[in-house]
């Protein structure tokens, strides 16, 4: 249905922009198949409602539609004049063009690579100064998007469509079915994250794409929750990862292991030949991260964190006893 509406809006925009005189609703109905079908299969009112919604949607997208009240023997006429809907000339300096080129290269491993490359070609044809050194910079960033969930979630977030997927939380033995209204995706420290409204929990949540199993399935219907004006995925993930936390935790890490923990340690003390003792920031979600290190990490405190890690390890091992 989303594709059908997009096609209908495109047809209406083309009709309004490629006419030299205002067109009446009757003429537009005769020219656009979807309108003709609505009129024949439903009613005049159904067609009128569809047309008014589409006209409002086009105006919201930025199309300037003029209404002429005296053009057709008293009937209203509609026209999108080219001079009022023409985009200004694109003017980019060398630094701005270089930034666009760099941004396009970021998506080489995703399906957007074709669209990004095509956009650069169009800008180049318009005279944008990309320079002779394009494609031969010494430093080229990459944001990998290898997870199968990336493309369907990006599309669902763009189209504001709810989705369902199976998700395995860190340290959990079994997957859970989640029903989510996707807001935004962001790459942070080499991992892609989705922020959205979790319908089952009635609150905002963040999901790591690498923990999504199976296919992402789009659902019909509108969002139930309110989409915030600004979605700071990175700040939310950092909060759950213990970034900026005021509390601290004490853990022992096996020598030669736990390098991500060592990079954010506030203090590090060598205990013996096999273990180091670290003081690390303690925030919500740290237990899930520590459980991933398995026997290479021993939690000394605080006690609630130790208990959290023990519970997670027991769930993974499927036993009732254990130590962390």
pLDDT (0 to 100) of residue 322: 43
Q: What is the pLDDT of residues 52-91, one digit of tens each?
A: 999 998 988 888 999 887 655 667 889 998 888 876 777 7
For the stretch 290-316, pLDDT in tens is: 888 889 999 998 998 899 888 888 877
Band of the pLDDT at 323, cuts 50, 70, 90?
A: very low
Structure tokens at 77: 């006429």
Q: Are 197 and 207 in contact (CB under 8 A)?
A: no
Taking residues 133-155, what's their average pLDDT? 67
Q: Which residues of 223-253 are buried (b: 16+ CB within 10 A; e: fewer)?
A: eebeeeeebebbebbbbbbbeebeebbbbbb
Q: What is the pLDDT of residues 184-233, one digit of tens each?
A: 888 776 778 898 999 988 888 889 898 898 899 998 888 888 888 777 77
Closest CA to 51 of 68, 69, 32: 32
Q: Which two tokens stand for residue 25?
A: 């609703």
How much is the pTM? Answer: 0.47
DSSP 8-state symbol, 133: T
- Of 13, 36, 27, 19, give the one whose Cα is nearest residue 72: 27
């Amino acid at each position: 249905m989303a594709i059908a509406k997009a096609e209908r809006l495109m047809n209406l925009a083309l009709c309004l922009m490629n006419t030299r005189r205002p067109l009446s609703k009757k003429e537009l109905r005769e020219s656009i198949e979807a309108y003709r079908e609505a009129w024949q299969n439903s009613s005049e009112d159904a067609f009128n409602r569809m047309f008014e919604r589409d006209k409002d949607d086009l105006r919201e997208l930025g199309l300037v539609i003029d209404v002429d009240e005296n053009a057709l023997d008293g009937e209203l006429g509609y026209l999108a004049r080219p001079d009022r809907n023409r985009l200004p000339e694109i003017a980019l300096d060398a630094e701005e063009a270089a930034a666009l080129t760099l941004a396009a290269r970021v998506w080489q491993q995703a399906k957007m690579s074709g669209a990004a490359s095509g956009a650069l070609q169009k800008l180049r044809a318009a005279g944008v100064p990309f320079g002779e050194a394009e494609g031969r910079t010494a430093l080229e960033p990459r944001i990998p998007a290898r997870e199968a969930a990336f493309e369907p979630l990006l599309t669902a977030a763009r189209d504001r469509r709810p989705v369902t997927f199976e998700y395995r939380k860190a340290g959990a033995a079994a997957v859970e079915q989640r029903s989510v209204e996707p807001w935004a995706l962001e790459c942070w420290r080499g991992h892609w994250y989705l922020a959205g409204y979790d319908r089952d929990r009635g609150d905002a949540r963040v999901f790591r794409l690498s923990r999504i199993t199976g296919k992402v399935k789009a659902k019909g219907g509108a969002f139930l929750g309110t989409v915030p004006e600004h979605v700071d995925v990175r700040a939310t993930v950092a909060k759950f990862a213990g970034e900026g936390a005021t509390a601290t935790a004490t853990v022992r890490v096996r020598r030669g292991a736990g390098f991500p923990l060592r990079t954010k340690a506030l203090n590090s003390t060598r205990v013996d030949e096999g273990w180091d003792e670290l003081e690390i920031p303690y925030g919500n979600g740290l237990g899930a991260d520590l459980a991933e290190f398995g026997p290479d990490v021993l939690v000394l405190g605080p006690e609630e964190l130790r208990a959290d890690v023990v519970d997670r390890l027991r769930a993974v091992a499927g036993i009732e006893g254990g130590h962390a």
